[in-house]
Chains A and B, each alone.
Chain A
Amino acid sequence: MNSLAVAALLLVLLGLAYQSGWSRSRALATVGGPKVHSRPQYHGSYVAIWTMMPALVVLLLWAWLGGELTHNHITAQIPADTLQALDQTALNAAINRIRAIASGFGVAGEVAPYEQAAGESLRSFQMLTGTGVLLVAALCGGAALLYARGRITARLRARNAVERVVNIALLLCSAVAILTTLGIVASLLTEALRFFTFINPLDFFFGTVWAPNNAPTAGNYGRYGLLPLLAGTLMITAIAMLVAVPVGLMAAIYLSQYAPRRLRAVAKPMIEILAGIPTIVFGFFALVTVGPFLRDFGRLVGLNINATSALTAGIVMGIMIIPFVSSLSDDILNQVPRTLRDGAYGLGATQSETIRNVLLPAALPGIVGAFLLAVSRAVGETMIVVLAAGNAPVLRGNPFEPVATITVSIVNQLTGDTDFSGPQSLVGFALGLTLFVITLGLNIFALYIVRRFREQYE
């Protein structure tokens, strides 16, 4: 069916309906007549909504069922004995040829008589159903138009009705957020449960060896122990926090308490630039610059540091998180009332004493919340680790060695492979579920703390 015709029909219906409702409403509002409840544009919209609904329902029904019907029509045109002889691929090829004949594009090579006949039959079928559907849609719309128009009286609360529709539309939009969460939980859970039909959950959550068999045979799936990945994730997160927390917090303190206004106006957005840089860029930076630098530096001081290691990934991730920590801490520090600071200054405390003894303790819960959010960010970070952590899923405590994390393993197990049949790809969802639960827990806890903190000073 021609999409241009559909669009034209809908536009015409829309225009007609609105105009008809609008003029009807204008006709009601005569001088000395009854007081009309709603403005004409609401009557217009009211009729338009009534009209579009049935027309759209008809069109959507056809979009849903039409393909099936056409397909059946084509197969019905193919002689029974020919149909018997065709397997699925050949049938599809035949159908495509018939469609090409019907569209007038034609086919190369010999055209079988039945193909020609079926093509012509299909063409008339398409003509018939196309116009038929359009006609039905137009009729339904028209009938609804007349009905709605008939309902317009001075007392009709058209505005309220239209607003109710708008309201429902808005509600549906906010439901998308819930649907997303549900979708995440449902897809992670179902696929993870399928994974656990292959692998015992205990072996997954408490296993110390990560050695998936990527071409699994029955009975030999490989080993899927989470602990090496979890250890890698935690190690990198810890290194990242060791970088980000002191630098981010001190930067926030300096900017909010010490820096003259002009420096703050320049430095704050510049630090926030870091937050806008895509993580893949940090990954590249880690891989080609920071990693080799650390390796050479290690050689200089007699340490054996791998170019791709937990240290490299952790340091660069820490750099990435600095603006996150500093802007959250800055917010929190600014929420501590000025009077508290004045109180300390009034006693003769120096600025750093005021900050360390009064400001930071007062801001502590909020800052802890900010740190937890930063931790959750670090745990879920992917690209830096994919490029710079070295992907060695072994349980060990040396930060100079390559490690692997949960996110890296998700990427490794799932890229390109969407045939979720074996544990080697399904494990991605079990890992995703673990990640989701960890970050969700951290976030809920952190947001709770921050909210409590805000309420304290409101």
Chain B
Amino acid sequence: MATTSASTSPQTAPERTRLIRAGLRRRHRSETIFRGLGMAAIVLALGFVVLLFVDVIRKGVPAFVQSNLHLEVFFDPAVIKVDPAPQTGDFASPAEFQAASLAWQRDVALLNWNRIIEASLRAKLPANTQIDTRELLTIPETNARHQVRELFVANPALLGQTVPVDVLASANAANWIKGNIDRSLGDAQQQMSPAARAVIDAFETSGTVSNGFAWSLFTNADSRAAPAAAGLLGAFIGSLYMMLIVIVLAVPIGVAAAIYLEEFAPKSRLTDFIEVNINNLAAVPSIVFGLLGAAAFINYLHLPISAPLVGGLVLTLMTLPTIIIATRGALLGVSPALRQAALGMGASKTQMVFHHVLPVTLPSILTATILGVAHALGETAPLLLIGMKAFVAQVPVTPLDQATALPVQIYLWQGNENRNFFEPRTAAAIMVLLGVMILLNGTAIFLRSRLEKRV
């Protein structure tokens, strides 16, 4: 009785213990397996993060190096046969000067600048090298002639002088120099002729060609004719304009909307509807916002296509729900004690919100804003639909000019046929984009910790 009295089950206590012990080994084994699965999931998820970063960096780093040709350019008067540049004072109205100036520049552009480039290249060739003009000109990037021409337009006094000029090696030449292409492949698969390859090798030994940091990636806009000169500046400025528009529009409107919904709105069906509406809007696929932009802003309101203004508006509408939700969360977190204290002092509701509640939530709102902006920065799909996929070779000056954006530039570059050259370049663009995003997120974290300490 003493040992079995506690029995509820058909077994006695020792029998129960035996049964329990019998199952223990199996149960602990399944415990270990389950735990191992959890660990594997973590390792897998973290592995993906590491793999992605390592992969992008490994592919992208070579693109931060560019091959430069160091040339001595002689502005040969025998080739550059144009009138002197028009001067402002000679014309009755600014319009006439502009017309004359444009005409002169057109004349300059019609000159055969490749002859200048060719001459400066030939000057660097080792003695007795035989190479025809066409092959020789595959070595510098095609923008070299524009570069030299612009030097002359900016300073016509260069005529007859010899100046050192660094020009970019062409994409194919850079592939050869940097080893992006297998040197052992046969002539048929090489993009450069054997003669040109020999010249490059000679240039390398003579120091006429050297590798340096790829500043052109950051100082140039996109280019198709001169892929080695293609840079991110245009896309960067386009993205910058869009971010500014998002900040200027989405933040005040989002914060104001959140304040209204959280603090002032009467609890009614309408506000319920707005709330459900905002939650759903936050989960609408981004491409749908692109459709909205194409139909409403471009087709109906006739705003300019491919313009950062439209992109910014679309991204604003997309970011708005995120900012509203985050701000409402922050407002909700403010202690009722603070509100009651303010109201108890005789402050009106508006005064309570703007003088007491809002300042306390500022760090969270700021963080949410930066994160929202960072997210908008990486968005691609809606921009494709409002024409920002167009090739734009100029850096946009105003938000109404044609432009592209960093993520769209990545999209455009990954589709380029010159894989050997553009795959690293795309990865480099991704590194720049991720760098900007990490910077933004880091700022958000830093600001939050600073501001929270102060409050």
Contacts and interface: CB of A to CB of B under 8 A. Distances in A.
The answer on direct contact between A and B (beta carbons under 8 Å) is yes
Interface of A: 100, 105-109, 159, 163, 166-167, 169-171, 173-174, 176-178, 180-181, 183-184, 187-188, 190-191, 246-251, 253-255, 257-259, 267, 270-271, 273-274, 276-285, 287-289, 319, 322-323, 326, 348, 350-353, 355-356, 373, 376-377, 379-383, 386-387, 407, 410-411, 414-416, 418, 420, 428-429, 432, 435-436, 439-440, 443-444, 447
B73 interface: no
29 contacts: A163-B348, A163-B350, A170-B256, A170-B260, A173-B257, A174-B274, A176-B253, A178-B274, A180-B317, A183-B317, A184-B291, A251-B42, A254-B35, A259-B42, A270-B49, A271-B42, A276-B375, A278-B433, A279-B378, A280-B410, A281-B378, A283-B414, A319-B48, A380-B287, A382-B286, A416-B389, A428-B291, A432-B287, A432-B288
A287 to B, nearest CB: 7
B288 A383 contact: no
A74 to B, nearest CB: 18
Contact of B288 (A184, A322, A323): A184
Query: Which 9 A-B residue pairings sit nearest by Cβ, starting from the closest?
Result: A380-B285, A106-B93, A278-B378, A254-B38, A187-B295, A250-B41, A108-B99, A170-B260, A174-B257
Nearest to A439: B285
B292 A183 contact: yes
B423 interface: yes
Nearest to A428: B291
Nearest to A320: B48
Contacts of B305: 418
A383 B381 contact: yes
B287 A382 contact: yes
A369 to B, nearest CB: 12
Given A108-B96, A279-B380, A447-B279, A271 B292 contact: no
A166 to B, nearest CB: 6
B31 A352 contact: yes
B8 interface: no
Contact of B280 (A187, A271, A443): A443
A93 to B, nearest CB: 14
Interface of B: 20, 27-28, 30-31, 34-35, 37-42, 44-46, 48-49, 52, 55-56, 59, 92-96, 98-100, 252-254, 256-261, 264-265, 273-274, 276-281, 283-289, 291-292, 294-296, 298-300, 305, 317, 320-321, 324, 348-350, 371, 374-375, 377-381, 384-387, 389-390, 407, 410-411, 414, 423, 426-427, 430, 433-434, 437, 441
Given A108-B99, A439-B284, A350 B27 contact: yes
Determine the main DSSP class of A at the interface with B.
Answer: helix
A416 B387 contact: yes
Given A108-B99, A171-B260, A254-B38, A278 B279 contact: no
A386 to B, nearest CB: 8
Contacts of A247: 41, 44-45
Contacts of B295: 187-188, 190-191, 420, 429
A353 B27 contact: yes
Contact of A356 (B34, B98, B258, B430): B34
B48 A322 contact: yes
A299 B229 CA distance: 38
Contact of A355 (B34, B55, B288): B34
Contact of B381 (A188, A191, A259, A407): A407
Nearest to B375: A276
Contacts of A414: 291, 294, 384-385
A87 to B, nearest CB: 22
A380 B390 CA distance: 23
A323 B265 CA distance: 34
Nearest to B59: A288
